[in-house]
Structure 1
Amino acid sequence: MKATIWHNPRCGTSRNTLEILEARDDVSVEIVEYLKNPPSSAKLRQLYADAGIAPRDGLRLRGTDAEERGLTTADDETVLAAMAEDPGLIERPLVETDKGVRLCRPREKVLEIL
């Protein structure tokens, strides 16, 4: 199985989720450092739809100005555009497999799609 993780190596939860993926013999991991290679708003739209969550649910609040910018109450397209422009607004880690997408907070949520 292939798993793609949108990863921030400075984030403990992201590192721990990656460890879970790499420990599995049946998983081939693609790592996307999203701060260096941000996903487009279209890709983010697809990821959140596949995860069954609204883009606002994938918005990183801690350490960002998301609340001050009104993003916590903004429409989906505004949130997605802001995330694509400033990937620091994306909560991490997102993991995608053939079985779906999860925002892996806590890290064990990744097990739902393996």
Structure 2
Amino acid sequence: MTVTLYHNPACGTSRNVLAMIREAGIEPVVIEYIKNPPTRADLDVLASRLCVPVRELLRQRGTPYAELGLDDPALTDGQILDAIAAHPVLLNRPVVMTDTTARPCRPKEVLFEILPEAAPPA
């Protein structure tokens, strides 16, 4: 199984999720999406695996979210993905993607829903 992490090393939650994945014995493909923005095609793959609405990929704080009118509930998934492609800072990090599913991991414990093997022993 391939695990991909859309990562921002400046984000504590993103660093924690990366550490949790590695502690589970998995070496993920790490995409620093600010330095290497995903293409629209990459975002389409990500969206196709999401187990939550595409809107959950949007980060509001510290981004041009309001200025771009992204608070409009009538926006389509395609319009949201176009905005993220144009402004990668809008991606709500960290996002973990496997071969079958994807989800923003905020809070970090959401990771356990995608990768149960990353959960601490009971």
TM-score by length of 1: 0.88
- Secondary structure at the counterpart of residue 98 of structure 1: coil
**Residue type of the alignment partner of 2:62:** G
| Residue equivalent to 2:96 | 95
Identity of aligned residues (%): 43
Contact 1:95 1:101 in 2 (8 A): yes
2:44 and 2:101 map into 1 onto residues whose CA distance is: 14
2:44 and 2:53 map into 1 onto residues whose CA distance is: 9
| Residue equivalent to 1:9 | 9
**Residue type of the alignment partner of 1:9:** P
Q: How big is the shift at 1:66?
A: 0.8
Cα-Cα RMSD: 1.5
Q: After alignment, is 44-53 or 98-107 more displaced?
A: 44-53
Q: How big is the shift at 1:99?
A: 4.5
| Residue equivalent to 2:105 | 104
2:47 and 2:100 map into 1 onto residues whose CA distance is: 14
**Residue type of the alignment partner of 1:19:** A
| Residue equivalent to 1:56 | 55
Change (3 A) 1:72 1:56: farther
1:2 and 1:56 map into 2 onto residues whose CA distance is: 24
TM-score by length of 2: 0.83
Q: How big is the shift at 1:49?
A: 3.1
Structure 2, gaps ≥5 residues long: 116-122
